[in-house]
Amino acid sequence: MAGLSNRSDGGAQLHELAAGHAQRWLADSDVAALRAAIDLLERAVAATPVGHERLVHRLLSLFLLLRDHFEFSSAAADLDRTIEAGEQLVAAMPTYHASWDRCLNDVASVLVWRYDRALDPCDLDHAIELRERVIAQAAPSSFLAHVNTRTAARSEYLGLVNVYARRYNRTGQLADLERIIEIRKLPIAGTALTDPDGPTWMSDLGTAYRSRYHHTGVLADLELGLRLGARAADALADGDPRKTEICHGLGDGYATLFKHDRSLVTLGRAIEFLELAVSMLPDDHADWSSAASYLAGLYGMRFDRSEKLADAKRAADLGEQALAAIAAEHPDLAVTLSRVGVAHLNLFSKTREPSYVKRAVELLEQAARATPADDPRWAGRIANVGMAYRGRFEVGGIPTSPEQLRTLAGHITEATNAFPSEQVRARYEVGSLAHALNEHGLAVELLDSAVALLPPAVPWEAGWQDQEGQIGRYPHLVGVGVAAHCAHGDPVGAVETAEFGRGLMLADQQNLRADLTELQALRPERANRLRELRARLTPGTSPVMPGPDSSERRGLLSDYHAEVQDIRRLRGFSRFLLPPQLSELRSVADRGPIVLVNSGLWRSDAVLITAENDPILIPLTGLTDEDLRDKVRELLDATGDSSPLTGTLKKRRVLHGILAWLKDTVVAPVLAAMHSAGALSQPTPRMWWMPVGPLSLLPLHAAALDTVVSSYAPTLRALSQARNRPPVSARRQLTVALSRTPGLNDLPGTAEEAASLHANWPGTTVLADEQATAERVLNALTEATWAHFACHAVADLTAPSHGGLQLHDRLLQLPAISALNLPQAELIYLSACSTASRGTRHADESLHLASLFQLAGFRHVIASLWPLDDTVAVAASRAFYDLLPSTPTADEAAFALHRVTQDLRAAHPDRPDLWASLIHSGP
């Protein structure tokens, strides 16, 4: 061969002798001959000059024989010798050698063998390097196009994927998963589903996308993975072993999607695919038990929603059958124990039957013991144990010792490879257990760390729906964290926990608009770089909604976060873009007290915040979480009933009851504390409510109507920002009124609202009916300082981002509103249905029209907690504007709305549904 010398060969005779021994080994499996061949070849290699044309051949023969000897002996020393010879071979073999690609792949495979034994990550790194060199040398498009090379191509690509998968499972590094997706895409480009390998390759790519979803939480990855998997399954016949595996994966994927959309249709799809997979597996198949246990978990999830006994029984029966069939050494034993344990725990949560939680504890403890501490699922297993212990305590009074609690907490800190979402859940579950057992110091420690981990668990690169799904997994976290601080006698910590853990999605948007004046003055290059990144992350009024290949956005966010971290290392900027501490925000209460109201699982409290004194803790002993959730369900049911007779009677009865209950359990003790603190000394005292969780759905202001002028604030930070915006110098009124909306009921009163505003402000810009398109409205908002919307609105209680204002051509959804930046906006009046309503799973996020328009720039927002009567809406808006002075600013808005509410109550004393809905948010 060209490039290899033909100098004197001292190893030729040794090589010939070795070849004879090698032949006897291959023919007769004579181990003595194999060892003799290896000894002679090692001497032949040593005697062969570097660069000699026969050196590569001898090294290759030596490597292959050493590999054979290791497969016979399984000795670690033999494996090391094999790898050493392989390294020499790789170094000596030129890339044009006919066996170069096979050689590198073979050496990579041996490195993986050693990794599987010794778990040295350097072996995986080197194996990846070798296989990447092989792939880089090939031209994928032409390489895969030829049928006669496709089998080899598939083998090489699969080999590289498998090594990356091993490293990802060990380290959890997203970059390895990104590379797996890139590799999985290559065979798809030139392959049809009718090709024998087509369904497999498409399914493999779908699985990779679903894996990336589990790492990042980006829902688009999950949805694309499911579409690819479903196409692959449809292309295969029943009974094909590949279809069994694919259906199993699709069942898992749809179950995960169910956690986002909470749709029983989605869960039904998951069960359908899993039932098909289980039915195609023989009962004695090695995978039957793990598939059956997972299916049991899905039935348990459906029972949690449907409460059908058939689902509960199917879950229990399948789970126990799976455990009876699974072998002790089965690699899925831990996950099977976990799934069946959770199925029993789900049944316990509905039935409170002690036998379920007893069995759950037994299984979940076994699952945790069977899971290595560096497994990414370790934190989730600890979370399940904590949840089971809490259930055992609640139903049977069986406590968990302080030592056990500390052990669980220690295990959580060891789970460094766990997904951020599972780290949050583990800290929440064990922290909640500690709180229930009155170990409040440990509870505060764990729950604070869970709240601190929420931002990485709710990734920016995810779209609104993805973020909602992630946040919806922790509906009680902030409430329990606040309660733990209150139980620990720490009202300051309670307020800061609420401040940090609520409104995360709004805080992300606020950070992208934060004032950089101070940074610009001291480090202009940093300010300019951050400003550039922010501009690229917020293009126009359509937020970037990432897809499965949103690597550019992830890269931008990585650069943005790195820049922010660098700025925090500068002197004087250690808390740059972090939620302000209470000491920095207390001055926002200089115009009236702010009251944080919280209902935890085991206690309820309010915290009174004033500008002059330390926060005051107010125990709310009459408020229970169970009662609160009952009242919220009653309110949502009643206000959603539009029937003219029964709906009216129901609303009247339910609202009267809720207002009386709120006055007794919340308002009375809060007002008493305010009186003691001297916060009610003004003739018309003002206050701001800051409710946590489902409390934010209730009309606290109406229960306090006779004593204070109420406003609402999602967070102290949001209130401070609204108050510190510069006042506007002119009133430029925009009115959007739709008396007719395609596909919806007419609203004849909206025309009257628009006419009234136009009469008082002749220069009003009016967009009515067909003129009120989304594009025109968005453009008009950029010029207006005041805005009035009289139209239909949509509030989606399960996915708030799907809500919005129903305009003539389409729904103006929350993400589009959040992208607005209106520095001159003063007041917006939302005379539409449920514009301040948010779902119970996302109550802490304040994701509704009122909060989003405040984020966009409006200092004052008037909105409604439930659907407005059209006639009352017209009267309320006219009276409100009549009471306001003719000034560009709207600082009297809260007082005007208070007066309007009192007048409406006087006109409709028996109909609180007509007068208690409107609320004010702002300074």
- Mean pLDDT (whole number) for 131-159: 61
- Same domain for 819 and 880: yes
- Same domain for 833 and 798: yes
- Residue 509: what pLDDT? 61
Q: How many domains does the chain have?
A: 2
- Same domain for 699 and 600: yes
- Mean pLDDT (whole number) for 757-769: 83
Nearest-5° angle of CA 190, CA 195, CA 200?
A: 90
- Residue 745: what pLDDT? 81
Question: Is 557 part of any domain?
Answer: no
Question: Is 859 part of any domain?
Answer: yes
**Of 482, 664, 498, 690, which Cα lies nearest the Cα of 593?**
690
Question: pLDDT tens digits for 426-448?
Answer: 999 999 999 999 999 999 999 99
Phi-psi region of 863 (alpha: psi -120 to 50; beta: other; left: phi over 0): beta
Lowest mean per-residue pLDDT among 61-70, 694-703, 776-785: 61-70
Residue 831, H or E segment: strand 827-831
- Same domain for 871 and 742: yes
- Same domain for 916 and 800: yes
- Mean pLDDT (whole number) for 11-36: 81
pLDDT tier at 542, thresholds 50, 70, 90: very low
- Same domain for 751 and 647: no
Question: pLDDT tens digits for 640-660?
Answer: 887 878 888 999 999 999 999
- Same domain for 882 and 814: yes
Question: Is 124 part of any domain?
Answer: no
- Residue 154: what pLDDT? 60
- Residue 3: what pLDDT? 42
Lowest mean per-residue pLDDT among 84-93, 187-196, 778-787: 187-196
- Same domain for 909 and 805: yes
Question: pLDDT tens digits for 462-474?
Answer: 556 666 666 667 7
Q: Of 249 and 16, which is predicted with more confidence?
A: 249
- Mean pLDDT (whole number) for 823-842: 72
- Residue 304: what pLDDT? 72
- Same domain for 663 and 749: no
Q: Which of 663, 679, 712 is the last residue of a domain?
A: 712
CATH of the domain at 899: 3.40.50.1460
> Over 80: is that where the pLDDT of 459 sits?
no
**Of 217, 239, 241, 212, which Cα lies nearest the Cα of 228?**
212
> Over 80: is that where the pLDDT of 795 sits?
no
Mean pLDDT of the chain: 84
Distance CA 590, CA 581 (A): 17
Q: Of 45 and 716, which is predicted with more confidence?
A: 716
pTM over 0.85: no
**Of 211, 290, 191, 197, which Cα lies nearest the Cα of 240?**
197
- Mean pLDDT (whole number) for 552-581: 77
- Residue 346: what pLDDT? 80
Q: Of 552 and 548, which is predicted with more confidence?
A: 552
> Over 70: is that where the pLDDT of 347 sits?
yes
CATH of the domain at 659: 3.30.420
- Mean pLDDT (whole number) for 196-200: 78
Contact 159, 107 (CB under 8 A): no
- Same domain for 804 and 704: no
- Residue 835: what pLDDT? 56
CA 226 to each of CA 219, 222, 250, 281, 458: distance values in angstroms, whole numbers, following the listed order: 11, 6, 6, 22, 22
Question: Is 793 part of any domain?
Answer: yes
Q: What are the beta bridge partners of residue 768? A: 737
- Residue 222: what pLDDT? 93
Q: Of 27 and 628, which is predicted with more confidence?
A: 628
- Same domain for 790 and 704: no
Determine what percent of the chain is predicted with pLDDT higher than 90: 32
> Counting Cβ atoms within 10 Å, is residue 328 exposed (0-12), middle (13-18) or buried (19+)?
exposed
> Over 70: is that where the pLDDT of 193 sits?
no
pLDDT tier at 90, thresholds 50, 70, 90: confident
- Mean pLDDT (whole number) for 206-224: 88
Determine what percent of the chain is predicted with pLDDT higher than 70: 88
Contact 305, 267 (CB under 8 A): yes
Greatest CA separation for the chain: 114
Distance CA 277, CA 203 (A): 15
pLDDT tier at 97, thresholds 50, 70, 90: confident
Q: Which range scores top for mean pLDDT: 7-11, 508-512, 807-811?
A: 807-811
How many other CB atoms sit within 10 Å of the CB of residue 887?
A: 12
- Same domain for 842 and 895: yes
> Over 80: is that where the pLDDT of 762 sits?
no
pLDDT tier at 268, thresholds 50, 70, 90: very high
Q: Which two tokens stand for residue 143?
A: 């390489």
- Mean pLDDT (whole number) for 894-916: 96
Report helix angle 477-487 to 420-436, nearest 10: 40
Q: Which domain holds residue 625?
A: 595-712
- Residue 557: what pLDDT? 67
For residue 83, which amino acid is it?
A: I
pLDDT tier at 143, thresholds 50, 70, 90: very low
Q: Of 706 and 530, which is predicted with more confidence?
A: 706
> Over 80: is that where the pLDDT of 197 sits?
no
Q: Which of 687, 712, 737 is the last residue of a domain?
A: 712
Question: pLDDT tens digits for 701-749?
Answer: 999 999 999 999 988 888 888 888 888 989 999 999 888 888 788 888 7
Question: Is 630 part of any domain?
Answer: yes
Residue 578, H or E segment: none
- Residue 149: what pLDDT? 47
Q: Which of 712, 746, 780 is the last residue of a domain?
A: 712
> Over 60: is that where the pLDDT of 8 sits?
no
For residue 377, which amino acid is it?
A: R
Question: Is 226 part of any domain?
Answer: no
Question: Is 865 part of any domain?
Answer: yes
- Residue 142: what pLDDT? 45
Question: Is 784 part of any domain?
Answer: yes
Phi, then psi, of 828 in degrees rounded to 5: -130, 135
Distance CA 897, CA 886 (A): 16
